[in-house]
Every structure is written in C-alpha cells, then in structure tokens.
Amino acid sequence: MNERLASRFLDLRALSALEPMRFTTRRRVEGTYMGYHASRQLGGSGEFVDFREYTGGEDLRRLDWKVLARTGKAIVRLHEEETDLSCTLAIDASGSMRFGAAGRRDATGSKLEYVQYLATALSHVISRGQDQVGLAVLNDALDSWIGPGATMSHIERLQQVIEGIATHPSPRMAGGLRELFERCRRRGALLLMSDFLMDDLEEVFAALRLFRHRGWDVVVLHVVHPDEERLPDGTAYRFEGMENDGQVSCSPAEVCTAYRERFAAHLAMVRQWALAGGCEYRRVSTAVSYLQTLGGFLVARAG
C-alpha cells in the first residue's frame, strides 16, 4: 500500500488481528462477482442445498435426472450460489457528531473521529474479504457518495474521503438517506453510523425502512459518547448547541435527573424504532476502543 495515500485512521498493525475475520450478513445478498456470501440466486453451480419438487416452467437443467430415473419423481436440485457483498458505510456528518472533540479545529476524541476509525477499519476488513465497500456521508443531503467497489485504489479513495469528513451543523439526515436509497440499485448491506440526535428521526427510520423493504441488510450503529449520558458536574453551565440550536444556561445539578431520563428514553426509542424496522441495532460507546467494538461486531455477525 502506498504510504503516502494511507489514511491516518487506518492502523494496519492494530487491524492485523481482525483481518482473518469477515463481515458476514444474515441475509442473502446480491453480488456482482463470486464471493463468500450466500447469494439470493439459487443457481446450479454452487453448493447443494436441498431438493424440491419440480414445478412447471422451471429450468429443466436443474432437474435431477438420476432421481427421476430411479424414483420417477421430478425433483429439482437446489444449489446455493455465493457472491460478493456490496456494503455501504453511511456516516452521519451532522454537527452533533463533533461532540467530544478536543477543540474547535481538533476533532480528537469526538464521535466523528471514533466513527472515522471504525469506518476505516470496517472498509479495510470488508475489502480484505473481497467484498465491495461503498461510502455515503450523510447530512441534510447526501454529502458524499462513493459507490461500492473492492479495488485497492477504490478503498484508498474511500478511506481518504472518510478521513476528510467534516461536520455540518444540520440537524436533519433523512434527506441524505433518501438520496442514498435512490442511488443504490443493488441489494447489499447498509451500516449506518450515527448518534441519531436529529430533528427528523422518524423520517430517518422511514428511510431505513425503505432499504429494508428492498431487502437490504441494515445495521444501525448508535454512537454514544459517555459524556452525553450524564451532564458534567458543576454549578453553572451554558450549554451551546452544535447544530445552531442555541444555548441554555442552567445548573446541571437541577436538571441532571430529568436529563438522564430523557436521554435514556431517547436511546430506548432509537433502539425500538430500529428493531421495529427490521434493522440490527448496536449501541457503540466511544468509551470502548473501536477495535474492540469492531471485533465484537464481527464476531456477533459471524454468529
């Protein structure tokens, strides 16, 4: 790999332990090339899966002639085809993703940085599995989009884009998702990494349902910063919104309980809506190393 083009979020040494692992889907996928994932097509060149009685109109080439001769019954042999995976990484680039950043210009420690690490690692792992990886940077509109691809250069370009993601103070994401949905023609896997702190949450999940309806394998990675779960200690804070939503001065001690209740309700609501929409939901805390998160995620996917 060209060192000059390597993303700063790509730590090959750390990822070396995860390289043998593959990102698998729990549903059949549509691929372009041969791969390791079960295809939605049950062709005749793949691994035998099952017999089934012949029904009129079926391809006679799948008829098991030997069984027909032996038993007189028209039985069709079913073979599972394997294809490659088309995985799209959708990254929320709203202003709230900068939470936890060390400074105005330094995003170190932010949710976005965490997602950048995670997405880069995922792209690396997925590409190592000969699968195609695409990228969508979501905002009120589709900020950036790179179609699925598996070539080295594609992955490098994708990782470069991930490295260059900048947040926009927009509290909406549904528009970007809908645009992404319109651009994606083939079924695949969609990994949405977001904190789900947005005004159009219902519309976002409505858009995700569109993906699911088309047969996409949708994985929702809910990124949570530990400092979001509880307010800081202190007598007076002026909390400033990160998406042009003003500021609020208060004493955290007076509102901490109500805040915790509301935040917990928000987490529960996102989880509930995700599961109800047929999506896989995983809460990702930035307090946990992205490698650990990725490993856990891959293991869980591998079943």
Partner 1 sequence: MVTFLHPWALWIGVAAATMPVLIHWWTRPRPVRFPLSTLRFVREAVRQQRTWRRLRDFVLLALRTLAVLLIALAVARPQWREPLQVSDLQGGDTIRVVLLDVSQSMAARAGAVEHIQRARTIAANYLRYRPGLAANLVLAGARPYGVFDGPSTNFEALRDELARCRALPERSDVNRAVDMAARWLAPASDNDRRRRELIVISDFQRSNWSKVDFSPLPGDTNIQFESTAPAEPPPNVAILGVQGRASRAGAQLDVEIGNETSATRKIAVDVTVGDATHRLTGACPPGRRTTLTEEIRSCPSGWWPGEARLAGVDDALPNDNVCPFVLHVRPRPTYILMTRQPRGRRATSSLFLECALAPAAGKERRQGGDASPRVIRVDPVALDSSVVASGDLIVLDHPGKLGDEAVKLLAALLRRGRPLLYVAADPIDATNLKRLREASGGSLQMPVEFTPPPAGHARRDLVLTSVQRESPPFEIFGDHLTSTLDQLRFAGGLGSRRLETGVDADVLGRYNDGSAAIVLTSSDAGALAVLNADLAASTLPKTAAFVPLLTELVEQLLDRHRATTRALSGEPLVAQLPAEAGPAHGLWTVGPSGVDGGRCGQLVDEAAGSVWRWAAAGQPGVYCVQRGDATVFAMAVNIPEEESQLDALTPDVLTGRMAAGRMAAYRGVADEDRRRDDSWKWFVLACVGCVMGEMGALIVFRT
Q: Which residues here bind partner 1, judged by CB under 8 A?
A: 95-99, 111, 195, 197, 225, 228, 231-232, 234-243, 245-251, 254-255, 258-259, 262-263, 266
Residue 188 makes CB contacts below 8 A (sequence gap 6+) with 29, 30, 85, 86, 87, 88, 132, 134, 148, 216, 217
- Distance, CA of 302 to chain centre: 15
Burial class (CB in 10 A: 0-12, 13-18, 19+), 48: exposed
Query: Measured from the CB atom, is 80 or 203 closer to partner 1?
Result: 203
Query: Measured from the CB atom, is 146 or 204 closer to partner 1?
Result: 204
Query: Measured from the CB atom, is 243 or 280 closer to partner 1?
Result: 243
Q: How far is the CB of 115 from partner 1 (least distance, A)?
A: 13
E strands, 115-224, in order: 132-138, 142-149, 189-194, 217-224
Q: How far is the CB of 290 from partner 1 (least distance, A)?
A: 19
In eight-state DSSP terms, residue 38 is E
Query: Measured from the CB atom, is 182 or 240 closer to partner 1?
Result: 240
Q: How far is the CB of 197 from partner 1 (least distance, A)?
A: 5
In eight-state DSSP terms, residue 289 is -
Q: Which long-range contacts (CB under 8 A, 24 or more apart) does 240-243 make?
A: 242/95, 242/96, 242/98, 242/99, 242/167, 242/169, 243/94, 243/95, 243/96, 243/169, 243/170, 243/171, 243/197
Query: Measured from the CB atom, is 56 or 246 closer to partner 1?
Result: 246
Q: How far is the CB of 251 from partner 1 (least distance, A)?
A: 8
Sole residue written with tokens 């950048």 = 116
Query: Measured from the CB atom, is 196 or 211 closer to partner 1?
Result: 196
CA–CA dist 290, 125 (Å, integer): 13
Q: How far is the CB of 18 from partner 1 (least distance, A)?
A: 29
Residue 29 contacts residue 38 (beta carbons within 8 Å) = yes
Query: Measured from the CB atom, is 58 or 254 closer to partner 1?
Result: 254
- Distance, CA of 194 to chain centre: 9
Q: How far is the CB of 261 from partner 1 (least distance, A)?
A: 8
Q: How far is the CB of 90 from partner 1 (least distance, A)?
A: 19
